[in-house]
Amino acid sequence: MSDRYEPRIVGFLCNWCSYAGADLAGTSRLKVPANLRVVRVPCSGRINPLFIFKALEEGADGVMVSGCHPGDCHYISGNRYAKRKLAVLRRLLDWVGIEPERIHFTWLSASEGARYAVEVAEFVDKVRALGRHNPMARQGVAS
Amino acid sequence: MADGMRLSRESLQAALRQRGALWAPNDAGHWSQVEALPELGPIRPRRPVKDLFTPPRREIARWKAGAGPAEIEPAQPDQTPGSVFGVRPCDARALLLLDRAFLQPSCVDPHYKARRENLLLIGVACQPGPNCYCGVFGFGPDDKDAVDVMLTPEAGGFVAQAGSPRGQAFLATVPAGAAVPLAAPRPGPQPEWWTGLPDPKALYANFDHPMWHELGISCMNCGVCTQYCPTCQCFTIDDESFKGEIQRLRIVDNCQRSDFTRMAGGHNPRQVAASRLRQRVLHKFSYIPTQNPGLLGCTGCGRCVDLCPLDRHLFADVFEIMKRINQEAERVA
Amino acid sequence: MNQSLRETVKRLFTEGKVKSVLGYREHPLSKAVVATLITRPEDADTLIFDDRCVQNLARALTRDLPLPVGIVVKGCDGCAVSMRITEGDFAREQIVAIAVACAGVRADGKTLDERCQRCEMHVSPLADVTVGDTSSLPKPEKTRAETIAKIKAMTPAERFAFWQKAFEPCTHCYACREVCPLCNCAVCVTDQNAPRWIEQTAKPSSNLMWHMIRAFHHAGRCVDCGECQRACPEGVPMHLLDLCLAEDVEELFDFKTGVKQGGKWPFLLFNPEDPDSWLGGPHRG
Amino acid sequence: MLRDPLLPLAARISERVDETADTVTFHFELLDEAERKAFRYLPGQFAEISAFGEGESTFVIAGDPAKPERLTVTTKRVGAHTEALHHLYAGAIIGFRGPYGKAFPVAEWKGKDIVIAGGGIGLAPLKPIVCHILNHRADYGKLTIVYGARSPGDLMYATDREIWAKAPNTELVVTVDKGDANWKGREGFVPAVLRAAAPSAQNAVAITCGPPIMIKLTLPVFKDLGFPAERIFTTLEMKMKCGLGQCGRCNIGPFYVCKDGPVFSVAQLQQLPQEF
């Protein structure tokens, strides 16, 4: 084990595309950083901003959100609604002084296992560069 | 008329520091530990002094998740000796009511008791503000009955008088200044239209009166009145946890919240806003005096009037309610 | 003003257009202006409107009022009522908006409220009847952009520190929620305990969570009535965060809350042309 | 040193019985030997049980008061806390505070017939009464128990009911709202079945507990059978939190349910505001 800082990242992946893409990365024996803890959601439109805030509060260093490409949504347009919400969420984080770069959005299809591996690796590097201190993270039970 | 004792600010501060830690209201009107005696505003601070005795968030115990029972660590009562400076008579009187709940012989709250025993209440007489109504309850802005020492500010210091044997003993430790004759206690203010406290029984008898619902429209049950009330004591018990560390907490709660009385199955006896408004008024002006003759659930501090976002006025409401009850009683007679 | 308001309300009753009216009255004892619900035309004589009418009565609109309900609305209040109709809380015909010409209110009785200084909406866009002189209403003294400029100018670290300090006195009393005309979730996230999204006690993390969620839920819905901040017993400037997001929503979605009847909340819509650039890269200089 | 009355005692679950799909009975004992030996409770008293990390809830102690070392609560899964409790099995540690509240006045009932009408999980507070009567069988007259549940799968305390059915001078009537293919017993709502069973009100006491609607419909039946309001008892399940008369939740009129109740006679309830 190297002693470099390994960020913990929560990934919200849509069931129909991105999660399948992550699966493909695995079955293709691609190397994907182990920093990502995946939460499978039915659709990127299901992601309530609360999930992301809560992940940051509980100490995640970054949050990755991934859904089907625009136009490919299993529920027709859930990802397009998600885009609007997430756009505002990014700005809200910026307004309260939390780096919006800690949130990474990407559209990823079931066939893009290789790109999944790259996206995760790049995001992990980016969060590592941002540093250990996610300002929203709680420090203890009473903080 | 007894004499008071003239104290300089410096000698009082030195004697209080000698005794231990010092608490006082800060600029935001919250109670915090201070090094020196602060300059106080003319009236009561924003937060009542109950915060020091029954804090909004009090730990009962903590433990590590998955740990055995031996690892339950009870919170230790704060036994720091010290004094609270700047207690107003309305807040001090409210503590007498909290004593009924937290010092009842069958279940003494050790945290409350430790604070009550260790903290000397140093009252400071106030210049009543526009919404101060201690006069309604028969005391005034320099009332010394519920504090240990009552100070009346004057240039460069205070005139002190003891309100309790404990206060008397403390005053004996301060380098004595000149004795000055005390002015007569000032009467407390009350609304010019106020005619007297309601009869608890009459209020209770009108539990089902439609006026509660009429009043309900001008109340949104935000509960600000209860949070800043010096006598409100309701709480809930819940756990908070973070990464396996769990705290059992006693958390301030209030009867205005819609889920205060909601039971696990969903049944809620106080479903509508008006019933919660009624609960607050009746608890303060009917239930408490019925349970504890001679005590009222209100000390006239007027914070609820000051802070109500909808500018409701507790005393005006109570007055109107009583007026209607009396009018109807007369009509029947 | 009061006279024509009272006559208007009486007429609405006699013409059978309303079964009840939400308005303002001066409390005979406390002299404070409080909300009142009248159900008889003769009670209209208690109604008033002046610069002490700070409350947004839209918060008191509930479906158990005798409908159709008349409601006395200032400009911002009217936007809130309009939003509630848009969101399906009420059918348009259940509400009779009594728009009053509002030159701004004075919560302290002296100076014009901060929220009113930037008001561009002195008369409700939703108006079934209009009362008062709408011709000579004041121009805004400052803009929203000016109000939030100081936040914009900060570095992220400064912003974080600013909000931490601003939210610190919050006690989770939720008066801001209760007073908000658009906080009408059946069960607020603060009251949910499985999971407990926002912890009950006040501390830095839970304060930030609450105010972020609050702001997010109001993005594109907040009508800038500023009631939240006025209601706050601790003076937390939470409305400033709403304003910041309102700026974004207008910029991103070209949407002005409550102004257009039937204008849908932008989160319930999408445009296939919505750019992906929203989701990455620096977006503000 | 003074013990914080809100501080729970640790208890270990000794047995878990899954009564129905959403109801679990836990038997447990206090870990501290001195506390365990000294512990006593009376029928109708309640306790605060906690799954650590999820808070506390109020449950009636539904065991045999003659065996106070073995404590029992029956819990229905309705919220976050009971959900957490239902994840616990024998051996797990829970928190316990109690006993609190006024008990059923069983001593005053000596020499009388007892009629019990329970619905669903409302049988839990009534079970200690039955245990007490069976323990002191000679002291009481005839015992009639009418117990109903929504469906055969919702009936609790199967083992206890077998004992009760065989007990001397005891009549146990079990009913379900709607039976299934295997159900050979009685069908019908508790109030109707009670009316048909028609226990005598002569020198008798009635006790009922169950969902609010059942209680509402059962009380008139008791009245028709000739029970005066002073001799009908129930327990109020007002949401209690502290059990000490401090937290203010269970305040009804000038009373606190946790201290002045939870057991009330119908005559007492008629004096209270109808806020429960």
Q: Categorize the per-residue pLDDT at C284 as very low, low, confident or very high, splitting at 50, 70 and 90.
A: very low
DSSP state of D200: -
Could you tell me if C149 and C123 lie in one domain? no
Spell out which residues of chain B touch residue A141, defining contact as CB-CB under 8 Å.
62, 240-242, 245-247
Q: Lowest mean pLDDT: which of B127-141, B147-161, C262-276?
A: C262-276
pLDDT at B332: 83
Are B163 and B15 part of one and the same domain? yes
Strands D232-235 and D263-265: antiparallel
Q: Does the CA dihedral B10-B13-B17-B23 come out positive or negative?
A: negative
**Do B217 and B323 fall within a single domain?**
yes
Length reported for chain D? 276
Q: Does residue B173 sit in the same domain as residue B143?
A: yes
Q: Are B107 and B220 members of one domain?
A: no
In sequence order, which residues have a C-beta less than 8 Å from that of residue C51 and are 6 or more positions away? C103, C104, C105, C106
Structure tokens, B119: 């903290």
- C283 assigned to some structural domain: no
Judged by average pLDDT, the poorest of C45-49, C150-154, D184-188 is D184-188
SS3 state at B179 = strand
Task: For residues B201 and A58, give the distance between their C-alpha atoms in angstroms, rounded to a whole number.
Answer: 52
B311 touches chain C (CB under 8 A): yes
DSSP assignment letter at B278: H
Residue B141 falls within a domain, yes or no? Answer: yes
* C148 and C91 inside one domain: no
Higher pLDDT, C99 or B71: C99
Which residues from chain B sit within 8 angstroms of residue C202, using beta carbons? 56-57
User: Which sign, positive or negative, has the C-alpha torsion D159, D160, D162, D167?
Assistant: positive
Shared domain check, B220 and B167: no
Of the three residues B181, B214, B240, the one that is the final residue of a domain is: B181
CA distance C75 to D69: 68
Shortest CA distance from C194: residue in chain D: D80
- The confidence band for C261, taking pLDDT boundaries of 50, 70 and 90, is low
Choice among B111-120, B168-177, C275-284, D1-10 with the minimum mean pLDDT? C275-284
Residue B28 lies in a domain: yes
Specify the number of domains making up chain C.
2
A residues 32-91 near B, CB within 8 Å?
A: 58-59
The pLDDT of residue B126: 92
C90 and C201 within one domain: no
C227 occurs within a structural domain? yes
Q: Which residue of C has its CA nearest to D78?
A: C194
Q: How far is CA D39 from the centre of its chain?
A: 19
**Dihedral sign from CA coordinates of B296, B297, B299, B305:** negative
Looking at the domain assignment, is residue B188 inside a domain? no
Predicted local distance difference test score (pLDDT) of residue B70? 61
User: Given this model, what pLDDT does residue A140 score?
Assistant: 86
Mean pLDDT within C229-239: 93
Question: Residue D195 and residue D192: Cα distance in Å, rounded?
Answer: 5
In this predicted structure, which of C147-156, C249-258, D217-226 has the lowest mean pLDDT? Answer: C249-258
Q: Strands D56-60 and B179-181: what pairing?
A: unpaired
Confidence of residue D264 (pLDDT cuts 50, 70, 90): very high
Nearest by CB: D237 against B107, B109, B263: B263
Is residue C282 very low, low, confident or very high in pLDDT (cuts 50, 70, 90)?
A: very low
Q: How far is CA B277 from CA B212, B233, B284, C218, in A?
A: 8, 16, 11, 28
Which one of C36, C191, C201 has the shortest CB-CB distance to B251? C201
The whole-number pLDDT of residue A128 equals 92
Q: Find out whether the peptide bond into C237 is cis, omega within 30 degrees of 0.
A: no
Q: How far apart are CA D155 and CA D153, in angstroms?
A: 6
Q: Write out chain C residues lying below 8 Å of B251, CB-based.
A: 200-201
B247 interface with A at CB cutoff 8 Å: yes
Whether C44 and C149 share a structural domain: no
For residue C157, pLDDT beyond 70: yes
From chain C, pick out residues whose CB is under 8 angstroms from the CB of D80: 193-196
Is any Cβ of chain C less than 8 angstroms from the Cβ of D80? yes
Average pLDDT over residues B273-283: 91
The whole-number average pLDDT for the span D201-211 is 91
Give the whole-angstrom CA distance, residue B284 versus residue B136.
14
Residue B15 and residue B126 in one domain: yes
Q: What is the 3-state secondary structure (H, E, C) of B194-213?
A: CCCCCCHHHHHHCCCCCHHH
Q: C265 touching A, CB under 8 A?
A: no
Kindly state whether residue B298 falls inside one of the protein's structural domains.
yes
How remote is the C-alpha of B251 from its chain's centroid?
Answer: 16
Q: Residue C67 and residue A82: Cα distance in Å, rounded?
A: 37
Both B141 and B224 in a single domain?
Answer: no
DSSP C23-38: EEEE-TTT--EEEEEE
Counted residue by residue, chain B has a size of 333
B110-114 average pLDDT score: 95
Share of chain B above pLDDT 90, in %: 59
Do C123 and C152 share a domain, yes or no? Answer: no
User: Is B74's CB within 8 Å of D7's CB?
Assistant: yes
Assess whether C268 and C186 both reside in one domain: yes
- B284 CB neighbours in chain D (<8 A) are none
**Does B150 share its domain with B206?**
no
Q: Check if the beta carbon of residue B133 is closer than 8 Å to that of residue B189.
A: yes
List, in order of start, the domains of chain A with CATH numbers: 11-130 (3.40.50)
Residue type, position C133, single letter: D
Q: How many C-beta neighbours within 10 Å does residue B323 have?
A: 14
Tell me if B64 is assigned to some domain: no
Residue C285 lies in a domain: no
3-class secondary structure, D163: helix
Q: Which residues contact D10 (CB under 8 A, 6 or more apart)?
A: B69, B72, D30, D31, D32, D93, D94, D95, D96
Ordered domains of chain D (ranges, CATH): 9-100 (2.40.30.10), 106-235 (3.40.50.80)
Given a cut of 90, whether residue C109 has pLDDT beyond it is: no
Give the structural domain span for B302.
200-231+262-332
Residue A75, judged by CB atoms within 10 A of its CB (0-12, 13-18, 19+), counts as middle
Helices assigned H by DSSP within chain D: 33-38, 80-85, 127-135, 158-166, 190-197, 212-225, 257-260, 266-270
**What are the tens digits of pLDDT across the range C186-199?**
889 998 888 889 99
Reported as a single tens digit per residue, the pLDDT across C55-75 is 999 999 988 899 999 999 999
- pLDDT above 70: residue B234: yes
- Residue B76: pLDDT over 90: yes
CB-defined contacts C:D, below 8 A = 7
- Of the residues C193, C205, C265, the best mutation for testing chain A's interface (the one with the most A CB atoms within 10 Å of its CB) is C205
Average pLDDT, stretch D136-143?
92
For residue B238, the chain C residues in CB contact (below 8 A) are 200
Q: Is residue B109 part of a domain?
A: yes
Q: Count of A–C CB contacts within 8 Å?
A: 108
Q: Mind giving me the DSSP string for D61-77? A: --S-TT-TTSEEEEEE-
Same domain flag for B80 and B168: yes
Chain B positions in Cβ-Cβ contact with residue D3 (cut-off 8 Å)? 110
User: What mean pLDDT value characterizes chain B?
Assistant: 90
- Which phi and psi angles does C68 have, rounded to 5°? -70, 145
B30/C contact by beta carbon, under 8 A: yes
Average pLDDT over residues B130-134: 92
Residues of chain D with Cβ-Cβ distance to C196 below 8 Å are 80
Q: Residue D98 pairs with which residues in a beta bridge? A: none
C240 interfaces chain A, CB cutoff of 8 Å: no
Provide mean pLDDT across the span B159-169.
Answer: 92
The pLDDT value recorded for residue B69 is 62
3-state class (DSSP) for residue D6: coil
Q: How many domains does chain B have?
A: 2
Q: Is the ipTM of this complex over 0.85?
A: yes
- The whole-number average pLDDT for the span B155-164 is 90
Q: Label residue B66 left, alpha or beta by phi (over 0 means left) and psi (-120 to 50 means alpha).
A: left
Report CB contact under 8 Å: C200, B214: no
**B-D contacts (CB, under 8 Å):** 121
Contact B238/A at CB under 8 A = no
Boundaries of domain holding C171: 144-274
Q: Best mutation site among C20, C25, C30, C174 for testing chain B: the one with the most B CBs within 10 Å? A: C30
Per-residue pLDDT, C285:
34
- Same domain for B129 and B210, yes or no, is no
Among residues 32-61 of chain B, which lie with CB inside 8 Å of chain A? 59
The string of DSSP letters for chain C reads -HHHHHHHHHHHHHTTS-SEEEEEEE-TTT--EEEEEE-SGGGGGGEE-STT----GGGG--TTSPSSEEEEE-HHHHHHHHHHHHTTSS-GGGEEEEEE------TTSSSPPHHHHT---SS-SS-SEEES--SSPPPPSS-HHHHHHHHHTS-HHHHHHHHHHHHTT-----HHHHH-TT---SS-GGG--TT-SS-SS--HHHHHHHHHHHHHHHTTT-----HHHHH-TT---HHHHHHHHHHHHHHHH---TTTSTTPPPGGG---TT--GGGGSS----
Buried b (16+ CB within 10 A) or exposed e, D139-176: ebbbbbbbbbbeebebbbbeebbeebeebeebebbbbb
Cβ <8 Å between D251 and B108: no
Q: A91 and C241: CB-CB below 8 Å?
A: no
With a cut of 70, say whether residue B196 has pLDDT above it: yes
Q: Are C235 and C167 in contact (CB under 8 A)?
A: no
Percent share of chain C, pLDDT over 70: 97
Q: Which of C71, C96, C131 is the last residue of a domain?
A: C131
The reply to whether C274 touches chain A by the CB within 8 Å rule is: yes
CB atoms within 10 A of CB C284: 10
Rg (CA), chain B: 22
Q: What is the mean pLDDT of chain C?
A: 90
Least confident of A2-11, A93-102, B64-73, D103-112: B64-73
Regarding whether C150 and C126 lie in a shared domain, the answer is: no
pLDDT over 60 at B1, yes or no: no
Query: Cβ contact (<8 Å) for D55 and B239?
Result: yes
Q: Give the pLDDT band (50/70/90) at residue D273.
A: confident
3-state DSSP call for residue D155? coil
Enumerate the residues of chain A whose CB falls inside 8 A of the CB of residue C284. Answer: 91, 94
